[in-house]
Chains A and B, each alone.
Chain A
Amino acid sequence: MRASYVRMRLTAGAILLALLWVLPLMATGEGRVPLPNIPPVPAEKGTQCVEDTDVMRRNHMEFILHQRDDTVHRGIRTEKHSLKGCIDCHVNPIEGGSYPEYGSEEHFCSSCHTYAAVNIDCFQCHNDEPEAE
């Protein structure tokens, strides 16, 4: 009886230790899980998106959905939350000077959508690169 109690305490202790070791790793995201390789925005275009990064990651689709109705039906053409605004900032020339196409890993949108298995049809109509100057 006493021996099994000790064994139980030992097992619980071991699990606790294992958790203490694993949890920080899970929190920082380091380790075995591969993460999308998101193309950076050149510093001269700014360091802060129109919303905080975690807000944008979670809600960007809501923002552009709302904005598209405002733009198409009511003629509101503010740059904030517009798809064109995203593209102008986030899609930048790759090596060789050309713009990456949506679908390639170097395109800002598809770098993450591929990872998250998201299918969008924005770029069947919209251009996936900024307008030529």
Chain B
Amino acid sequence: MTTENLPGRENDDLGDAARRRFVSSLAAVAAVPGVFLQTVAEAARPADQPVTDKVRWGLLIDTEKCNDGCDACIKACDEEHNLEGFGRPTTDAQWIRKLTARDKRTGRVVTMPMLCQHCEHPPCVDVCPTGASFRRVDGIVLVDKHTCIGCRYCMMACPYKARSFIHETLHDQKPYAPRGKGTVESCTMCVHKVDRGDGTTACAEACDEEGHQAILFGDLYDPDSEISQRMRERGATQIRADLKLNTGVRYQGI
């Protein structure tokens, strides 16, 4: 067998020792400036390479910056994925909901977007009878609608009420976001944008445009990413941490 056709091995003429030297020199370079690190982290993965578990994508939501009454993130999500409504609020697809919570004792009110928490141990994946609910190795929890039978077990299992079932025949879907009647869906963390190397999501972009900057997308495994730095500085909470799901969406200020 030759290594000719293996992806990523075309120009592999480095010996073991040479490779080790090369890798350690990379590490030395990487340790120096923050700017260089940024470029490495945000460099787009080539389209023909599979995702790896070297990264874990996550969102950090700062509830102190999230404005009551603002729904820019929801609108951006609806537009990005063409989540049209049918005037039926109880069943229309909804990938982000705005929650307002009030502490009974202190009376403090916080408002925040609630969406798929992209758990490391997702209950929706546990209960799916066909394997349609799955967690991509880079931490994004998705529904493979080719295998989804629409049983909605995942909707019942999700502690965050993050999923929607499509009751209607749909038209004019976005080519990068196929959706259809009889399947369950939820936030994809804008997987098409992530794969393109945009390094952000539609909701985070919209929040930035509104000037709130309450949503931050990034790599939770990279200690130098902005999301990791901010979490290190101020800490971050998981909602329903008692379930030990290790969510990829974290909140500050609650």
Contacts and interface: CB of A to CB of B under 8 A. Distances in A.
A49 to B, nearest CB: 19
A125 B173 contact: yes
Given A74-B51, A75-B195, A126 B45 contact: no
A73 B191 CA distance: 11
Given A87-B175, A127-B174, A73 B136 contact: yes
B173 A78 contact: no
24 contacts: A72-B144, A73-B136, A73-B144, A74-B51, A74-B136, A75-B45, A75-B50, A76-B49, A77-B47, A77-B195, A79-B47, A87-B175, A124-B169, A124-B180, A124-B181, A125-B170, A125-B178, A125-B179, A127-B172, A127-B174, A127-B178, A130-B175, A131-B175, A131-B176
Nearest to B185: A125
Contacts, number: 53
Interface in B11-53: 45, 47-51
Given A125-B145, A127-B178, A76 B173 contact: no
Interface string A70-88: 1011111111000010010
A60 interface: no
Contact of A75 (B138, B145, B169, B173): B138
B175 A126 contact: yes
A75 to B, nearest CB: 4
Given A78-B47, A124-B181, A125-B183, 12 more contacts: A68-B146, A72-B144, A76-B47, A77-B196, A78-B48, A79-B47, A84-B175, A84-B176, A125-B178, A125-B179, A126-B173, A126-B178
Contacts of B180: 124-125
B142 interface: yes
A77 B44 CA distance: 12
Interface residues of A, number: 18
A123 B48 CA distance: 25
B134 interface: yes
B50 A72 contact: no
Contacts of B48: 76, 78
Contacts of A84: 175-176
A87 B195 CA distance: 20
Nearest to A74: B50
Interface string A86-128: 0100000000000000000000000000000000000011110
